[in-house]
């Protein structure tokens, strides 16, 4: 499956981080509970993203051949002061600058340890793009702000999520994903606002051997239709299936089954 250009991922890490920082600067309460990640406050979510960026920077910068423990990554704790949105935003911005510098220096094919076996800097550029983009949605929803994502980035995020679910299932690291098998029942995702030239439809099959998927317009057991960004957020369990503008056609129970069991691990 075609991906975005490597430089686009590097650019998007910066763009998405700037927009996440803008949520902090909007006056959002850093102590507010993130409804889509209820174990975190908004501040804790931002610190999570910053740690992920700094960890990735160290992996790429050192051309790591194995995982680097968090405690060996510089400045993952973030600002000492709690609730300081300005300091938190500056720390997050610095993290994005560090990792994009390391990624650009490395190039997409540089060997770098990765948890899914795709051990290249290209994997990390893509992973951090979507890590920040989806958590930016968490932050925007928490602050009651609008959220938009470029169509090609949103489509690539759905591709990546499906690949992650496949990996989690094959690796056996999360029991729930093992249940995503069956007799070929299927889920169709259909973006209704995709620009010309962008194939923003997917067929996901629960085959006996596990999850299979491809882009395309095909009949399925259940279909989720709506604006591309909303389809992405619903598929990532960030917004309800009953969100205005979304439509579920067919066996809703199958889609709900998928959403309960599809996991990052």
Domain extents in the chain: 6-143, 151-261
Res. 5: pLDDT tops 90: yes
Tell me if domain 6-143 and domain 151-261 are identical in fold.
no
- pLDDT for 61 equals 98
Report pLDDT digits (tens) over 85-142. 999 999 999 999 999 999 999 999 999 999 998 999 999 999 999 999 999 999 999 9
What gap in Å lies between CA 125 and CA 133, rounded to an integer?
12
151-261 to CATH, choices 3.30.1050.10, 3.40.630.30, 3.60.15.10, 3.40.640.10: 3.30.1050.10
Residue 265 pLDDT grade (very low, low, confident, very high; cuts 50, 70, 90) = low
Res. 1: pLDDT tops 70: no
Q: What pairs with residue 213 in β-bridges?
A: 204
Based on the number of CB atoms within 10 Å of its own CB, is 71 exposed (0-12), middle (13-18) or buried (19 or more)?
Answer: exposed
- Does the domain spanning 6-143 belong to CATH 1.20.120? yes
Res. 212: pLDDT tops 60: yes
Reported pTM: 0.95
- How are the residues of the chain apportioned to helix, strand and coil, as percentages rounded to the nearest 5? 50, 10, 40
- pLDDT for 2 equals 67
- Name 166's Cβ contacts closer than 8 Å, sequence gap at least 6: 210, 211, 213
Produce one character per residue of 90-108: b if its CB has 16 or more CB atoms within 10 Å, e if not.
Answer: ebbbebbebbbebbeebeb
Instruction: Give φ, ψ of 96 to 5 degrees.
Output: -65, -40
């Amino acid at each position: 499956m075609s991906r975005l250009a490597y430089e686009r991922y590097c650019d998007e890490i910066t763009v998405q981080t700037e927009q996440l920082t803008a949520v902090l600067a909007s006056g959002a309460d850093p102590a507010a509970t993130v409804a889509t990640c209820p174990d975190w406050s908004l501040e804790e979510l931002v610190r999570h993203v910053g740690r992920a960026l700094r960890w990735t920077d160290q992996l790429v910068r050192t051309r790591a051949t194995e995982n680097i423990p968090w405690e060996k990554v510089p400045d993952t704790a973030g600002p000492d002061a709690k609730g300081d949105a300005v300091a938190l935003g500056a720390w997050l911005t610095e993290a994005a600058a560090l990792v994009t510098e390391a990624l650009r220096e490395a190039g997409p094919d540089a060997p770098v340890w990765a948890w899914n076996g795709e051990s290249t800097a290209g994997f990390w550029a893509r992973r951090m793009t979507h890590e920040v983009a989806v958590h930016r949605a968490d932050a925007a929803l928490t602050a009651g702000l609008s959220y938009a994502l470029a169509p090609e980035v949103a489509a690539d995020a759905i591709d990546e999520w499906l690949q992650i679910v496949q990996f989690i299932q094959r690796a056996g690291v999360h029991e729930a994903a093992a249940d995503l098998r069956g007799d070929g029942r299927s889920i169709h995702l259909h973006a209704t606002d995709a620009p010309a030239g962008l194939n923003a439809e997917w067929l996901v099959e629960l085959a006996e051997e596990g999850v299979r998927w491809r882009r395309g317009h095909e009949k399925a057991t259940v279909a989720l239709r709506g604006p591309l960004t909303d389809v992405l957020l619903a598929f990532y369990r960030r917004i309800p299936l009953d969100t205005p503008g979304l439509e579920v056609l067919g066996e809703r129970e199958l889609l709900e089954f998928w959403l309960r069991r599809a996991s990052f691990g």
